[in-house]
Homo-oligomer: A and B are copies of this chain.
Amino acid sequence: MNTILQQSFSVSFQYPVCFTEDLFSFANTQFVDVLEKGKLVKTYFVIDSGVSEAFPDLISKIKSYATHFKDRFFLCAEPLIVPGGEVCKNDPKVYHQVVEATHEFGIDRHSYIVAIGGGAVLDMVGFAAAISHRGIRLVRVPTTVLSQNDSGVGVKNSINYFGKKNYLGTFTTPVAVLNDFNFLKTLDDRDWRAGIAEALKVALIKDLSFFEWLEKEASALSKREMEPMKAQIIRCAQMHMDHIAGKDPFEFGSSRPLDFGHWAAHKLEHLSQYRVRHGEAVAIGIALDSCYSHLLGWISREDLDRVFGVIRTLGFSLYEPELSGENLIQGLREFQEHLGGKLTIMLLEKLGKGVEVHEMDETLIRSAIQLLEEENRTAKNH
């Protein structure tokens, strides 16, 4: 009586993640190399206000580059400048401005939106591009450490909604990711440092040798030496890409094993009204879940101190006042909802090896928070 037809297909996704310098100099063909060949393509640039302020000649460089390669692409309108940071994800008017531009300028599925900025701008522009015409091609140009080594190389986009981080979004691959190291030079120290937290995260749960490398280079990184920074970014980006490609790129399951330290980080960012930046919050989240792993008896006090040592040498704080009280625990419940009912949290079995758990003890979380608070106070007194 019943008939069942089974639909089944696979879709292949590919994109290059390039690391370069001076992306829009005439000698650099990375940008035009990722555009569709054999036609003149329409492009629309959306630029993080932080970037356009730090690089006042950026737009004129892009226009000169477009003129130089005028047989390959053109700008269909003046670049759109959008506020950088979480504010562009918090205010739906900003993403809507990008959607409106696609309508106004006839930007279609074979045109390219080029997003230049930090992770928040890339997320927001990516969401607008993903839903307009069911998906306009996106080139991401991440300009911060955090977006170059982590968020910018992945498959997610989003805006915040209902006061919840990343509430609306999709999984959509970019056409290409073009990481230009020159953009890092003008970052303030906080942003320079913040992205390194993601490298520490993957190192701690996946790769002891990378953790040891970070231990060795932490001081040079904190002094803004460029060569270890580049090495860190490329290695971290590769690990992040391998993770995405390896298993469940669009997260149909409930496991998100690269999210070490992130349940607390998301909530802390929100509680501090984004005074604490994502990478800073991740560093604290890593410290917290490392403490928790230690209190469970999984990593030794010596190992925990090594983790604290890297975090401190990089210049991060171990504690923020928003960790106290019940608000953070509430974040754990929200994270559970976001994951789909079944909680999955990454903890440390040992340095370089994460392990998933499906519950966390609230009393133990409070003890871990207390340990961090003491550690932070002690450090300040020295």
The residues of A with any CB-CB pair to B shorter than 8 Å are: 1-21, 30, 39, 42, 99-100, 103, 106, 108-111, 127, 130-135, 153, 156, 158, 161-162, 164, 166-171, 173, 234, 237-238, 241, 244-245, 249-251, 254, 337-342
Contacts and interface: CB of A to CB of B under 8 A. Distances in A.
Contacts of A8: 12-14, 245
B169 A108 contact: no
A339 B109 contact: yes
B340 A108 contact: yes
Nearest to A110: B340
A45 to B, nearest CB: 19
A254 B135 CA distance: 13
B110 A3 contact: no
Contacts of A168: 99, 131-132
Given A110-B342, A340-B109, A133 B2 contact: no
Contacts of A110: 254, 339-342
Given A103-B164, A134-B169, A3 B18 contact: yes
Contact of A170 (B134, B164, B234): B134
Given A131-B168, A337-B108, A16 B11 contact: no
The residue in A9, A12, A167 that gathers the most chain B C-beta atoms within 10 A of its C-beta is A9
A268 to B, nearest CB: 21
Contacts of A108: 337-341
